[in-house]
Amino acid sequence: MRSSNKSNRISRHLLFIFLLLVGFKGFSQQEKDTTKLMNVRYGSKGIELETRDKKFLFQLASRLQFRFSTPNDTDPLTYDDYSQDAKTTFKINRARLKIGGHAFEPWLKYYWEYELSQSNLLDFRLMIEKWDFLSFKVGQWKTEFTRERFISSGEQQMVDRSLINRPFTVDRQLGAEVYGHLKGAGIADFNYWFAALTGTGRGSTSNDDNHLMYFGRAQWNFLGRSLEFEGCDLEFHEKPTPIIAFSAVTNRSPYTRFSQAGGGSLDGFEDGLPGQYRVNQWNLESAFMYRGFSWQSEWHTKEIIDKYNNNDMTVMKGYYVQAGYFFHNIFHWWPKQLEMAGRHAGYRPDNSIKENRQEESTLAFNWFFKGHKNKLTSEVTYFSFQDKTLPLEQGWRFRIQWDISL
């Protein structure tokens, strides 16, 4: 019955999209005097309807992600995951509907995003962006705590995020944020974000106690040029463009991790009671792009304090480094649309036990038909799992993915 209801919801969503598209087509074929009121076009963010006075803009886009993986698709989380049966899979990994634009004034913006395959409302937010140095946002969105997580799944350099994303991401939260770009001369160029959030994850309608999540990020653009949140140097930056960022977050809730599904528990932690876990996190981040070369890295520390069990504290550490390059800059025979990238990540679930460690090394190739809007990514990944009480386990995975935005 649940599967049938889910299929019905997806069918209704697809019918809604179809009717919108048909309506837009019919609108564009109406009498010429309607064009005096509104422009209809296909732009970088899908179908766009904009009034002639520029005060109202409506954008509609969709994105599909098809993936083949073997012997499994997900990252191994425990020692037993390395001995599980192979499950070669072809699936629709993501099917997104995106709506955005502005209303009344160009600086009063809105955006929402829906996952059709899982019937999840992912993002819904309202932004006031009248000034570069001071903007406001309210709603639900991915916090800017980590570059890897904040970059859209459609603009990543790899098939998916690294193995440290699961334990360290703050993911989507509800709340309010102030942010901006301080464009000083030379090295005095910064971006900042500060937010007060409910701290109970995506889709939550209430808090578990009176504690909020507090988040902050400071980004130093020390050559006076800022980087957007996206993988690969498709823009082919003619000048070196580096950034260094520091992020921090603190929260008290029943949860030790967050994901698209909302709040949850990491391995080794029981399901929490209201306010049971105080979680403090820090992330030092770097990124760089120049003439087809891209680099990004993160270094994470996470403290989990069990307030109901003598303030027992677990400290977790994790990092990744990632780089990519378009080699047609060196070799004339290398296709211009082809990028090669590599990533290495490491994770300690308890930093006091040095013998416990998980690692990932990945090699990927991207073929860009139309930038991130239409690309094919293939990757091979090597995993290792070390536990002081168990022998070393190792494994390989191959994935290929087609990501297309319509």
* 317 within domain boundaries: yes
pLDDT 10s digits, 331-383:
999 999 999 999 999 999 999 998 899 999 999 999 999 999 999 999 999 99
pLDDT of residue 285: 98
**What is the pLDDT averaged over residues 28-37?**
55
**Residue pair 397/70 in contact by the 8 Å Cβ criterion:** yes
Q: Is residue 128 part of a domain?
A: yes
Could you read off the pLDDT of 46-65 as tens digits, one per residue?
Answer: 999 999 999 999 999 999 99
- Which residues constitute the domain of residue 383? 37-405
3 pLDDT more than 50: no
Please check whether residue 15 lies inside any domain of the structure. Answer: no
Using alpha carbons, select from 73, 105, 100, 104 the residue that is nearest to residue 87: 73
> In the predicted model, what is the mean pLDDT of residues 249-270?
95
Residue 29 pLDDT > 70? no
Q: Which residue has the higher pLDDT, 406 or 167?
A: 167
Percentage of the chain lying above the pLDDT 90 cut: 83
Per-residue pLDDT, 394: 92
- Asked if the structure places residue 29 within a domain, the reply is no
Q: Indicate if the pLDDT at residue 26 is higher than 80.
A: no
Identify the helix (H) or strand (E) that includes residue 3. Answer: helix 2-28
- The confidence score (pLDDT) of residue 173 equals 97
CB of 173 closer than 8 Å to CB of 164: no
pLDDT at position 22 is 47
The total domain count for the chain is: 1
Higher-pLDDT residue of 129, 76: 129
Does 7 reside within a domain?
A: no
In this structure, is residue 16 part of a structural domain?
Answer: no
Lowest mean pLDDT among 13-22, 32-41, 116-125: 13-22
Residue 267 neighbours by CB under 8 Å, 6+ apart: 77, 78, 349
Q: What is the pLDDT of residues 119-160, one digit of tens each?
A: 899 999 999 999 999 999 999 999 999 999 999 999 999 999
Given a contact cutoff of 8 angstroms between Cβ atoms, the answer to whether 350 and 365 are in contact is no
pLDDT of residue 9: 56
Q: Residue 12 pLDDT > 60, yes or no? A: no
Which distant-in-sequence residues (6+ apart) come within 8 Å of 25 by Cβ? none
How far apart, in whole angstroms, are the C-alpha atoms of residue 165 and residue 162? 6
Note the pLDDT of residue 117. Answer: 86
pLDDT value for 27: 46
Please report whether residue 26 resides in a domain: no
Residue 13 — pLDDT band, cuts 50, 70, 90?
low
What local confidence, expressed as pLDDT, does residue 367 receive? 98
- Give the pLDDT of residue 388: 81
With a CB cutoff of 8 Å and minimum separation 6, the contacts of 33 are none
Looking at residue 297, its pLDDT comes to 98
Closest CA to 195 of 246, 141, 266: 141
Question: CATH no. for residue 43?
Answer: 2.40.160.10
For 184-234, write each residue's pLDDT tens digit: 888 999 999 999 999 999 999 899 999 999 999 999 999 999 999 999 999
Contact between 303 and 310 under an 8 Å Cβ cutoff? The reply is no
Is residue 99 one of the residues assigned to a domain? Answer: yes
pLDDT in tens, 279-323: 999 999 999 999 999 999 999 999 999 999 999 999 999 999 999
Residue 347: in which H helix or E strand, if any?
Answer: strand 338-348
